[in-house]
Amino acid sequence: MTNGQQLRLYNSLGRRLEDFTPSASTVGLYSCGPTVYSFPHLGNMRPYVFADTLRRALTWKGIPSRQVLNITDVGHAVADSDTGEDKLEVAAARELRSVEEIAARYTEAFFEDMAALNVQPADEYPRASAYVPQMIDFAVQLESLGYTYLLPSGLYFDTSKSPGYGTLALMDIAGQREGIRVEHVEGRRHKSDFALWRSEEPGKRRVMRWDSPWGWGAPGWHLECSVMSMGLLGAHFDIHTGGVDHRQLHHVNEIAQSEAYLGDGQPWVRYWLHNEWLLIDSAKIAKSAGPVPRLADLVAAGQHPMAFRLFLLGGHYRSQLDFTPAAVGAAQATLRRLIARVEALRPLPVVETLADAEALAGDNPAVKAYLDPIDAAISADLATPKILASLQESLRDPALTDSGQRLVAAVADALLGLRLGSLELREVEHRASVASLSADRVAQIEQLIAERTQARGEKNWARADEIRAALDALNVQVTDTPNGPVWELR
C-alpha cells in the first residue's frame, strides 16, 4: 500500500509547482472566507469548491487536515480601503437592519450555498467580531516592535520595515508604493502601508466600535486572518488558500504583519494556493452590468447546484473560467448522463482514500488502469478535468465489470464530490420556476427590462446589449411582443 504519486501543488510563493510535504501530522489549512454583507454570488463560490477539492485530495493521500474558514463580520471597508465605511454598516443602513441581523442573514445564506454545493464543512468558522481583543493585542505587539506609526485616521503598518514585503505578489516594491488601487491617506508614509486599526473620525460614531490604546475604532481588514489563523492553527501552518484577487494585497499584508509579529525569520505559511476568477461575459464577475447571478438563480432556472459544481470542476482551478448559463446547462446534461449510468450501479462502496480504493481493487488490472491515472491527476495540482474524463471513459469501458465501474465511480466521487452515490435523476431534470425566485430578484429583473426598453427607445444599443447580457446571465429570456416585452426563465 502506498500513497501513490507525490502530491504536487502550485505555490503562489515562488510561482511554481512543488512537492507537498506536510510539516505536522495534521495539516493546518486556512481559507479566507466571505464578508457577510450581501448574498454570495456564483463567483464567490469558486474559492470554496477549490479548497474543498484540496481537502479531498489531502484525505485521498491519507493526510489529515484541519480547515479554518473565517467569517468577516467587521473590518472590511468598502472598496477594500483603509478609511471607508464598513461593508456591513453600509448594508445595515441599506436594509434597515442591525449589523448583527445583516451578519446572521448572509452567514446563513453562505452556509446554505456551501451545503447545496456539497462543500464539506470546515472545522472552525471564527467570526472576526469575536476576535477584536486578540487583534488589538496583536497590533500592540507590532507597535512595541516598532513596525507601526499612528495617524489621526488610525494605526498603520510601515511596510518599508518588512524586508520581504510583496514577495507573494512578485511585487516591484517601488511600483506598489505608488500603487494604483490604494486611496490617499493623509500622512501615510508609503502607499503600501495599511491600517491595523481604523480610528473613528471625530463626530462620526461607528456602529461597530471598540476601545483600544489608539482610541475608539475598528480593526483593519487584514488583521483578522493573521490573528484567527494563528489562534486556531498555531503560529505556523502549512496551507493558506483564497481567490487570486487576494494575492496582490490582502495576503501580502497578512504575510507582512504575521512575519513581523513572529519575528523568527521563518516563512509564516509554507504554501499559498489561489484559484483564478470566474468570469461572466469575460469580465470580472464583480464588474458585471446587472445583478450577479447567485446559486438560487440557477436553481430557479432549473439548474442543479451539482451541475454548477461539475461546471467548476470541468476547469482547472488555476484557469479563468467563463460562466454562461449554457455552459452550466451542458454540465447538467453531463451530470444527467453520469447519474443515469451510475444509478444502476448503486450502492457505491465507501471510498475516501487511495488506500481504501486499492484495498477494494485488489489486483484487478482493469480497475488499476483507472485508479493510477486518477491518482496521477489529483496529484498533479488537482487536475479535476482529467478525473472527470477518466470517470466518463470508465463508464463506457467494456473491459470493466460493473463492480469495477462501481469502484471507479466511488473513487471519482470521493475527489469530485458530485453526490454520484445518492443524487436522483429526477433531481437533475431541467425545470425552471419563476415562482422560486425571490421577490427582490423579480423586481430587479423587471427593472432591468424597463431599462432595456428605455435604452432601446433612446437607440442606446450599447446599454441595451449590456442589459441583455446581464439578463442572459440570470437565464432570463425576453420576448418583445406588441404589448411590450415578456420574460420567462430559460
Tell me which residue of 265, 335, 349 sits closest to 302, measured CA to CA. 335
Site string for Zn ion, 181-220 (x = CB under 5 A): ----------------------------------------
And the C-alpha cell for 455?
A: 435604452
Task: Using alpha carbons only, give the angle 47, 49, 51 rounded to the nearest 5 degrees.
Answer: 65
- By beta-carbon proximity to Zn ion, the closer residue of 247 and 336 is 247
- By beta-carbon proximity to Zn ion, the closer residue of 58 and 249 is 249
Which region, judged by CB under 5 A, interacts with Zn ion, from 3-11, 30-38, 126-134, 279-287?
Answer: 30-38
- Distance, CA of 73 to CA of 204 (rounded, Å): 20
CB of 34 to Zn ion, least distance (A): 10
Which region, judged by CB under 5 A, interacts with Zn ion, from 19-27, 32-40, 305-313, 348-356?
Answer: 32-40
Q: By CB under 5 A, how many residues form the interface with Zn ion? A: 2
Q: What values do phi and psi take at 417, rounded to 5?
A: 65, 40
Which region, judged by CB under 5 A, interacts with Zn ion, from 24-32, 318-326, 358-366, 372-380?
Answer: 24-32
CB of 226 to Zn ion, least distance (A): 8
CB of 32 to Zn ion, least distance (A): 3
225 scored as a contact of Zn ion (CB under 5 A) = yes
Which region, judged by CB under 5 A, interacts with Zn ion, from 129-137, 221-229, 271-279, 440-448?
Answer: 221-229
Tell me which residue of 320, 313, 382, 386 sits closest to 9, measured CA to CA. 382
CB of 277 to Zn ion, least distance (A): 17
- By beta-carbon proximity to Zn ion, the closer residue of 274 and 294 is 274
- By beta-carbon proximity to Zn ion, the closer residue of 32 and 473 is 32
Contact 183, 193 (CB under 8 A): no
476, β-bridge pairs: 489
Q: Within 13 Å of residue 316, how many CA atoms lie on the same side as its CB?
A: 12
- By beta-carbon proximity to Zn ion, the closer residue of 225 and 299 is 225
Contact 100, 392 (CB under 8 A): no
244 scored as a contact of Zn ion (CB under 5 A) = no
32 scored as a contact of Zn ion (CB under 5 A) = yes
CB of 197 to Zn ion, least distance (A): 17
How far, rounded to the nearest angstrom, does the alpha carbon of residue 455 sit from its chain's CA centroid? 35
- By beta-carbon proximity to Zn ion, the closer residue of 32 and 342 is 32
- By beta-carbon proximity to Zn ion, the closer residue of 35 and 405 is 35
CB of 228 to Zn ion, least distance (A): 9
CB of 282 to Zn ion, least distance (A): 27
- Distance, CA of 217 to CA of 211 (rounded, Å): 7
- Distance, CA of 172 to CA of 154 (rounded, Å): 26
- By beta-carbon proximity to Zn ion, the closer residue of 240 and 336 is 240
CB of 250 to Zn ion, least distance (A): 5
What is residue 416's DSSP assignment? H
DSSP 250-309: HHHHHHHHHHHHH-SSS-SEEEEEEEPPEEETTEEGGG-SSPPP-HHHHHHTT--HHHHH
Question: Residues in the site for Zn ion, rule: CB under 5 A?
Answer: 32, 225
